[in-house]
Chains A and B, each alone.
Chain A
Amino acid sequence: MVSGFFTSDRIPQTLDHYFIMRKYYIFISPISLFVILEIIGRSGYIDPFFFPAPSIMLKSLWGMIISGEIFPHIGISVLRAISGYIIAAILGLAIGLLVAWSRVCEVIFDPLIELIRPISTFALVPIMFVWFGIGNGSKTVIIVKACFFPIVLNTIAGIRGVDSRLIQAARSLGAKGSQIWTMVLIPSALPMIITGMRVSTAMSMLAIVGVEMLAADSGIGFLVIDAQRVFATDRMFAGIIVISLMGVGLDRVARYFQKKLLSWHSDSSFAETSA
């Protein structure tokens, strides 16, 4: 690989000169973006109705924090997302393991999974309301639908992808039946399974915000759409910023668990010490 500005370690070395600690590197881009957008926003080139300066967005957000308005919304969004995620995880793992274990289950569930998966999550929202009403139940069902598939598919692929020779080695050492599952297949498939579970945390956020925008009277998604109805774009962006931060927070939590469970893995993306 030809060494150049982008491929060498020169960037960190250059910045070291300016006494910036490495762990703060991740803030360089966002802060720069903030500054640029602030300058553009204040310059008047863009109508503040369409894109307020970041400082205005943050002021609006701050107002929501001070008044305490934002917290119930965050709380209910997180609650819906988590409850949907947990159900999806239990279902996804159970069905994934069943399908990987039994040919009969594979024949039963595989076609169903393939048929339901492509259906857009949000297209199901109206049907859910007809079936389950407007309460939290229907929202939870939709979150489950969104989160279920990465988990079940990764579980199946993870188990099927285990090197058959590892199983041979285990059998030769005397492992039988369920021991092969608990001591070889599941530990071996764990990286893939956990990846699926991590992807689903992001899906749960995406799904809940979308559902709340379509039909809810609480939650962050509702906050954004409600602000849109009264054309309060600063509040809209405040909500969007919260969504982004919630997503990052959730991802960090997921990475923490991933690191704990997969510290043995040679792949650095699993075992890295993430900032």
Chain B
Amino acid sequence: MIEARGASKVFNKRKRVVALENFDLHVADNEFVSIIGPSGCGKSTFLLLVAGLENLTSGKITCDSEAVKGPDPKRAIVFQEYLLFPWQTVRKNIEFGPKVNGVTAEERKKISDKYISLIGLEGFENQYPHELSGGMKQRVAIARALANRPDVLLMDEPFGALDALTREMLQAELLRVWQTTECTVLFVTHSISEAVFLSDRVVIMSNRPGRIISDIRIDLPRPRSRETIFLPEFKEYEKAMRKIIWSEVNLENS
């Protein structure tokens, strides 16, 4: 459903910062794919390219067989820094997407009601972002992205700014929310355990310019629960991925 072929991105024509080079990736419908890799390997750049917020230098990216030309609410993106609109309440933030896409006020209220209760923030509809905790803000950001009923949800280290406990809670929340929608998720992270816990597939990238050095199918049962991390298979996956990443890092140091 998402298809990247030979995707390349070069920043700053003079200095030629090659963020991504000849990147190929295929993501099927409704798959949850995590991309994990060292800092600077280009994973965030790839996400922005799929979102249409950056333009390819060469190669192509298609979503549902259509080339990605620019941003579109069907390819919603959630950032690490939440990027909620501070002058709007929780409800208005969630209604932003539908509003700019011409949905009537009545419909919008139904949509925001639905997502506010889905993310468990009833009672907070009229709070402003600065009055919310990090975990709450990220939930609003996710709801805001989902309010447009996207086909693809792009997440750029969304839980990176949160403390470890909130992070684990939101991972479970994300899966719960995702089960109620029908969308493909492309999830960028630094955390091996997070990737294993959440995904159907984990793609490991090398250092810049990133190439895929491993593409691992995670065959853990769904729906996943907090206890999933205790399964021996879980540890096996983590171990295998760690070894791959270590060998890549060693390559860099030697």
Contacts and interface: CB of A to CB of B under 8 A. Distances in A.
B100 A266 contact: no
Contacts of B249: none
Contacts of B76: 172-173
Contact of B97 (A165, A174, A264): A174
A265 interface: yes
A22 to B, nearest CB: 25
Contact of B100 (A163, A176, A187, A188): A176
Interface stretch (B81-89, B105-113, B167-175): B81-89
Nearest to B99: A183
A173 B148 contact: yes
Interface in B51-75: 51-53, 70-73, 75
B211 interface: no
B53 A171 contact: yes
A203 B105 CA distance: 42
Interface of A: 163, 165-166, 168-176, 179, 183-184, 187-188, 190, 264-266
A156 B65 CA distance: 42
A166 B53 CA distance: 12
Contact of B73 (A165, A168, A173, A183): A173
B87 A264 contact: yes
A171 B70 CA distance: 9
Provide the main secondary structure of the chain B interface.
loop
Given A172-B72, A174-B148, 13 more contacts: A169-B83, A170-B100, A172-B53, A172-B75, A173-B76, A173-B97, A173-B100, A175-B100, A183-B100, A187-B87, A264-B128, A265-B130, A266-B128
A183 B87 CA distance: 10
Contacts of A174: 71-73, 97, 100-101, 148
B100 A179 contact: yes
A42 B72 CA distance: 77
Contacts of A166: 83, 85
B144 interface: yes
A115 to B, nearest CB: 33
A107 B128 CA distance: 38
Contacts of A184: 85
B178 interface: no
Contact of B88 (A169, A172, A264): A264
A170 B77 contact: no
B234 interface: no
A264 B88 CA distance: 7
A166 to B, nearest CB: 6
Contact of B87 (A169, A172, A190): A190
